[in-house]
Amino acid sequence: MLDFTISHTDGPARRGRIRLSHGVVDTPQFMPVGTVASVKAIAPDDLDAIGAQIILGNTYHLLLRPGPQLIQELGGLHKFMAWKGSVLTDSGGFQVYSLAEKRKITEEGALFQSHLDGKKEMLSPERAMEIQCQLGSDILMAFDECPPAESDRAHHEEAVARTSRWAARCKASWLEKRAAGANPENNLFGIVQGGLHQDLRARHAAELSELDLPGYALGGFSVGEKPAAMWEGVAHAAPLLPAHKPRYLMGVGTPEDLLRCALAGVDLFDCVLPTRVARNGLLFTRRGRLQIKALRYARDPGPADPECRCYTCKTFSRAYLRHLFASQELLSYRLNTLHNLTFYIDLMAGLRAAIERGEARQYADRLLAAFAEGPDA
C-alpha cells in the first residue's frame, strides 16, 4: 500500500510525498502521459533526466494493442517500457466520454468498438481491474462514467450513481486479486464525478470516501466547461476528498490550471497537452506561450526560455527550433517535447518549494502575471 505524508501546507495547498513500490512521488506533481506505454517523442532516460517521477498509461489503449497478456508475459509495464519510476493507469473510463459514438453503456460496463479495427471490446469494473493488475501498475484507477460538462443534471446524477456502484465492484475485484497474490503493492483510486453541480460532487465524495480507498481523483473536469468554471468547481470539490489521502485531478491541463488547482489542494495532475502541442510547435515559457513556427523567430539566436534548464534551451536557438519545425524534422518533436515537459516538471517543483516557504499564492500570482506578458515582452 502507498504511504502518503504531508510535510507542509499553505492555505489549501499541500506539499507531500507518496511512497510507492517504484519510488517516491513528490507532490504537487505532474505526470507525463504515456498512453500506449510511450511518452510520445522521448525515451525513458529523457524522462529520468528531466526529473519525472511517475507517468500515466491507459487501460483501453493497451488492451487493444499490444494486449495486457503480452505485457504481463514480458514482465509488466515497467519492464516492457524500461521505466523504473512509478506508473498510474487510467481505467478506460475517460473513453466512455471520448468515444461516445463507438460505445454503449450498461450496468455491466461499457461496450466499445475499437477505433483500430472495429472489433467490440467490453470494459467492466472487473475487467478494468484485471487488465491493470496484468499491466503491473502502481496506481490503478476505478472504472467510471464521465459525462460531458454540458450534460443535463439527470445524466450527471445517473453517472454518479453508476460510478459509485462500479467503484464498489472495482474495490471487491481489486481486493480479491490482492488476496490471490496479484500485485500486492498496487493501489486503487476512486474517481468522484458530478460535473459542476456542487451538491452532486459533495454527495459523491462522501459515498466514495466510505470505500476507504488509498487515494481519490476528481474526474469530469476539463470536458467542455470554461476554465474559470473548472477552477471554481475544483476549488469546491478538492477539499471534499479525504485530507489524509492523495488527491488527483484527471486530465488537467494548462500551466494556469495546474497552479490554480494545486492552490486548491490537488496533489497529482496529468494531461496530454504539453506533449501534444509540442508536436505542433507551441512551447510553454515563463513568459507565456511561444509559437516557434512564427517567422519572427527565424533569426532569433536566443533560447526558447532563457530561464529553462532543459537540454533544448541550453543547447539550441529559437532560430534552429523554428528551422526544425519548418523542415518537419523529427528532432523538432523531441526537442520541443523535452522543453515542455521540463517546464511542467519545474513548474511543480517551484510550487512545492513555495509551499514550504509559505509563499504559494505569491509564486502562482507572479507566474500567472508573467504568462500574460508573452515571450517577447
Distance CA 304, CA 36 (A): 29
Which residues, in sequence order, are bridge partners of residue 122? 111
Confirm whether 257 is a catalytic residue.
no
Q: Which are the contacts of 300, defined by CB distance < 8 A and separation ≥ 6?
A: 317, 318, 319, 322
- Cβ of 355: how many Cβ atoms within 10 Å? 26
Sign of CA dihedral 223, 20, 50, 91: negative
The SS3 assignment for 137 reads coil
Confirm whether 267 is a catalytic residue.
no
Ramachandran assignment for 328, one of left (phi > 0), alpha (psi -120 to 50 degrees), beta (any other):
left
Residue 160 DSSP label: H
Q: Choosing from 138, 144, 270, 305, which is the catalytic residue?
A: 270
Q: Are 10 and 34 in contact (CB under 8 A)?
A: no
Distance CA 240, CA 226 (A): 22
The SS3 assignment for 39 reads coil
| Cis, bond preceding 66 (omega within 30 deg of 0) | yes
Distance CA 196, CA 217 (A): 15
Q: What angle do CA 177, 250, 33 make, to 5 degrees?
A: 85
The SS3 assignment for 338 reads helix
Q: Choosing from 10, 46, 90, 257, which is the catalytic residue?
A: 90
Distance CA 84, CA 48 (A): 9
| Residues taking part in catalysis | 90, 270
